[in-house]
Amino acid sequence: MARVAIVTGGTRGIGEAISLALKDLGVTVAANYAGNVEKAQAFTERTGIQAYQWDVGDFDACAQGVARVAAELGPIDIVVNNAGVTRDGTILKMDREMWEDVIRINLGGCFNMAHAAFPGMRDRKWGRIVNIGSINGQAGQYGQVNYAAAKSGIHGFTKALAQEGARFGVTVNAIAPGYIDTDMVAAVPADVLDKIVARIPVGRLGQASEIARGVAFLCSEEAGFVTGSTLSINGGQHMY
């Protein structure tokens, strides 16, 4: 029987690439999305991957969403916590709602999804959880105290949960992407983008498929001895 995966934010950008990479491995994928029904429907028509709508920042919605996917597709073996938002601004311009939105969705979503899926993985003695962090959670970024805090929190969350899952065959890892050629990055003014690329030693933006290949490995049978790790895929922009 094929493994079953949920990829949050799985219908666009990096999430879409992850959904497709897992499908190529023979995994049955459920792609979660938050609000853009039209694009989610187009994604399903284009890929054949079923899309499910819920807010990952809502604890109860995650429990219900995981239960629905399990009932329709089978027990959840893999969770990729990719969903995230930005609400950028310097701290003096950042109101509490901007802070709480990012923490609730980016970091809270990891907890909510793991809380719903981890018990079944533990009982079946096999599971893969991959959390998408960020170079900005490792190095910080001007105007992103909320986003950097949430992504940094993801890296700590990963290491702690890995310790809980290890003896049950449940691995928990993170990937920290650098600047990737997605719609969000494409919206950055050209002069600013040029400065970003100039700081990347390989001299280019990353591709979503490069992140997806890292996720696919961490979700594979072969990665059973890898847990509590953060894989940085950033073109050498930040090394530590």
When pLDDT is averaged across residues 197-220 and rounded to a whole number, the result is: 96
More confident site: 238 or 163: 163
- For the full predicted model, state whether its pTM sits above 0.85: yes
CA 66 to chain CA centroid, nearest Å: 16
Reduced 3-state DSSP string for 62-114: HHHHHHHHHHHHCCCCEEEECCCCCCCCCCCCCCHHHHHHHHHHHHHHHHHHH
CA 6 to chain CA centroid, nearest Å: 10
199-213: burial string, b at 16+ Cβ within 10 Å, e else = ebeeeebbebebbbe
Q: State pLDDT tens for residues 60-115.
A: 999 999 999 999 999 999 999 999 998 989 999 999 999 999 999 999 999 999 99
What does 6-66 look like in DSSP terms, one character per residue?
EETTTTSHHHHHHHHHHHHTT-EEEEEESS-HHHHHHHHHHH--EEEE--TT-HHHHHHHH
Residue 1 has pLDDT above 70, yes or no: no
List 142, 147, 179, 240, catalytic entry = 147
Please enumerate in sequence order all residues whose Cβ is within 8 A of that of 162, keeping only pairs 6 or more positions apart, or say none. 171, 172, 173, 227, 228
Q: State pLDDT tens for residues 44-57.
A: 999 999 999 999 99
Does 147 participate in catalysis according to the annotation? yes
Domains of the chain plus CATH, in order, are 4-233 (3.40.50.720)
